[in-house]
Amino acid sequence: MKIYKVLIHGLNDLRANRLRHLLVGLSMLLGVLAISAVSSADQLVTKYLVAEQEQLHGKAQTYVSVLAPGSLDQEEVADSFQRLSKVVENIGGNALFSVRTAISVPHVGEQNFERVAYQGDYAATYRVPLSVGTWPRDNGTVAVGVVLNEYAADLLGIDETPQSIEMNTSRGTKNVVVTGIAQDGLKGGEARIYQPLGSSGDSSLLLDEPIELMLTAPGDKQDSLQRYATGILEQSGTSTGESMEFMRQDTVDNTKNSVAVTKTAFLVACVITLLVAAVGVLNVGLATVGERSEELVIRRALGATKKQVFGLVMGSSLLIGVIVAVIAAALVLLASAFVVPKFMDTAGIVQGIDLPIEALWFGLAAALLTSFLGALSPAIKATKLDVAQALRS
């Protein structure tokens, strides 16, 4: 029997038992949608949840060691950074020195700002994209460049760059130029100013505040890089060099592990839902074979082969699977294009959500497999109907 005839018979069967097949299709649709959603989880984790963690705690494989105040002066920081940079660049990593201090900005009331003076590529350690402008360069010019986070920019009423502002430091009030606005993920009143360490002109930063040394590098390179960094600081006369301890700072692996557990739980629920749908297809198929037994044996008596009878019974179930897969694909595409971006603030830290093509294939396979397994037993039963007994009755 040709495929189009199988489809025609399948459509006729669906029309004859509309409510029964509708309920089975809805059950299957829930399972297929769940499968598609779970298979999309990896992409969402990579592009959103992990990116969010990298904003706050650093990119994957970021380790930090805290040096006591006064361990290094400005020249030693610059020298250590230059020597470290030559090594980390070769292994695709990044080194970052940073010092954090509390400052105030005139005309903003009692709001405290945190100044992060850094040496290195800050955006290579933390996922901190700029919504406006560029990162400043320590070029030795009179105008000191800084970057504000979004909360600080809102407090100061700045939405375009460059703009000049004043900030109070231990050396008095200074004029600085805002070169960019950063999306650092800090909210709830955490105003922050990012400034290259070499442009701060405030030697007391290194004398009075702890210095953080962060190393971001592949896991198999971390140990050797940490030993190298410790050696460099020891040669610089750092009193804490021998007792330096690097601690894992990023939470990327923990986030992925948590999502993997959740994903497994959802997959189990999806499989159970699809098994329920398969049982529904099985019940419908058995009932249909019972109702159409006379028709099927007459077809056999008129010359229909077992293969053709098998296709007649299987056709309606596979047709349900195809319809469910098409509906699921349409819903997943609509959700990816319109629903997900509205509920997830993906601007900046990620470049949007790609269409989950892999998820669509999983959904199609799940729908067809469920239909096939549910209809397999009824189709086999139909091929084994006793033609002679049915004709005698």
Phi, psi angles (nearest 5°) of residue 218: -55, 150
Give kind and range of the element (H or E) at residue 105.
Answer: none
pLDDT tier for residue 241 given thresholds of 50, 70 and 90: very low
pLDDT at residue 380 greater than cutoff 90: no
Going through the chain in order, the beta strands assigned E by DSSP cover 62-67, 94-104, 112-120, 130-133, 144-149, 163-169, 172-182, 191-196, 211-216, 247-248
pLDDT tier for residue 82 given thresholds of 50, 70 and 90: confident
Q: In angstroms, rounded to a whole number, what is the distance separating the alpha carbons of residues 198 and 217?
A: 24
Question: Averaged over 350-362, what is the pLDDT?
Answer: 66
Selection from 177-186, 281-290, 377-386 with the highest mean pLDDT? 177-186
**Quick one: 343 exposed, middle or buried, by C-beta within 10 A (0-12, 13-18, 19+)?**
exposed
Average model confidence (pLDDT) for the chain?
Answer: 79
Q: Which two tokens stand for residue 27?
A: 């059950």
pLDDT tier for residue 68 given thresholds of 50, 70 and 90: confident
Q: In angstroms, rounded to a whole number, what is the distance separating the alpha carbons of residues 296 and 310?
A: 10
Give kind and range of the element (H or E) at residue 143.
Answer: none
pLDDT at residue 77 greater than cutoff 80: yes
pLDDT tier for residue 126 given thresholds of 50, 70 and 90: very high
Q: In angstroms, rounded to a whole number, what is the distance separating the alpha carbons of residues 257 and 252?
A: 9
**Residue percentage of the chain with pLDDT more than 70:** 81
Question: What secondary structure letter does DSSP report for 315?
Answer: H
**Quick one: 354 exposed, middle or buried, by C-beta within 10 A (0-12, 13-18, 19+)?**
exposed
- Tell me which amino acid residue 182 is: A
Q: In angstroms, rounded to a whole number, what is the distance separating the alpha carbons of residues 371 and 320?
A: 7
Q: For the chain, what is the total number of helices (H) and then of strands (E)?
A: 15, 10
Question: Averaged over 70-79, what is the pLDDT?
Answer: 81
Q: Tokens 């959802």 sit at which residue?
A: 266
Q: What is the pLDDT of residues 28-50, one digit of tens each?
A: 787 777 777 776 666 666 778 88
Q: What is the pLDDT of residues 293-333, one digit of tens each?
A: 777 777 777 777 788 778 777 777 777 778 888 888 788 77
Query: Do residues 58 and 250 make contact, with C-beta atoms less than 8 angstroms apart?
Result: yes
Which among 63, 156, 154, 77 is positioned nearest to 119, based on CA atoms? 77
Q: What is the pLDDT of residues 153-189, one digit of tens each?
A: 999 989 888 899 888 877 778 888 999 999 988 877 7
Selection from 109-113, 192-196, 219-223, 252-256 with the highest mean pLDDT? 192-196
Question: Averaged over 4-27, what is the pLDDT?
Answer: 66
pLDDT at residue 144 greater than cutoff 90: no
Q: What is the pLDDT of residues 183-214, one digit of tens each?
A: 988 877 789 999 998 776 676 777 788 889 99
Positive/negative CA dihedral, 281, 287, 291, 293: positive
pLDDT tier for residue 231 given thresholds of 50, 70 and 90: confident
Query: Do residues 244 and 214 make contact, with C-beta atoms less than 8 angstroms apart?
Result: no
Going through 21-108 in order, the beta strands assigned E by DSSP cover 62-67, 94-104
